[in-house]
Amino acid sequence: MTAWVARREGPAVDRDAVWQHVHEQRAALADVLEDLGPDEWDHPSLCAGWKVRDVAAHVISSPQSGLGTVSVAMLRAKGNFNRCILDEGKRAGIRPTAQILADYRQYAGSRRRPPGTTYLDPLLDVLVHTQDIVVPLGRRHDMPPAAACAAAGRVWGTSFPFRARKNLAGLRLVASDVAWSVGDGPAVHGPMASLLLVLTGRPAGLAGLTGECVPLLSERLARSAAAAQRRSPPPRTPAPPQH
C-alpha cells in the first residue's frame, strides 16, 4: 500500500505517473462514450444543467484550451468563470457525437493543459467527470485509487472551486484502499473514489462511506450544493463553435 501525504500543492507524486493516468482514463472514457446510445448522450449528468455530451466534450477540451481560446471564452462570459465553463461546455457539447469522439482519438494522449492549471487538474477532471457520466447512466467505471488519491490532494490543497476544507471542516476523511487521510475530527471511512466525489461536492460518493458523521457530511454537501446553485449563472444556449 502506497502512502500519500496531502499537502497544499497536492500529493508528492511523479508527473509522468500522473500523465499516464490521465491518458489511460481519457482512453477508458472514450471507450465508454463509444458504447452510448443517443438517449444516453442526452441524459442528465451528475452536474446540474449538464448533459452527458456536455461533460464529455468538456473533459477533452482541456488539451485544446490555450491562452487565446480561454481569453476569448472569458470575454464572451464577461469575466464570469462559472458562466465561461458552462457556456463552453454547452458549445462543445452540442456538436455531433462523432466530433466529440474524434477529439478523444486526437487529444487523449496530449499533455497540453489550460493556462493557470497544474498537471493534476486534467487528472482531477477526467476522474470525477467520468463518474458524472457513468453513475446516472447506471454504468460503472472503477477509479484507480492511486490516481484518485493524487487528485484528492489537489482538491484539499486549494480553496477554489470546491472549498473542500471549509465545507468539510471538523471531519476527518480516511481512505480504506490507500493510506490517505485529511482533516481533523470524527472519521468518515471509504474508498478513495468515494472520498474524491465527496471532496468535489458529489453526494453520489456518500453511498460508499461509513461512520457516524455520514449524515452530517450529507447535510454539508446539500448546503454547499445550494450555495453553488445560487452562484451559478442561469442557463442559456450558446452558438456552436465555428470552424
Kindly report, residue by residue over 172-197, the tens digit of the pLDDT: 999 999 999 999 999 999 999 999 99
Cell numbers describing residue 234? 442561469
| Cβ atoms of 134 and 55 closer than 8 Å | no
Residue ranges and CATH numbers for the domains of the chain are 15-141 (1.20.120.450), 145-230 (3.30.1050)
Q: What is the CA radius of gyration of the chain?
A: 17
Put the strands of the sheet holding 181-183 in their side by side order. 181-183, 172-175, 187-190
Q: How confident is the model at residue 232 (pLDDT cuts 50, 70, 90)?
A: low
Phi and psi of 198, rounded to 5°? -65, -40
Q: What is the pLDDT of residues 122-148, one digit of tens each?
A: 999 999 999 999 999 999 999 999 999
Which run of H or of E encompasses 46?
A: none
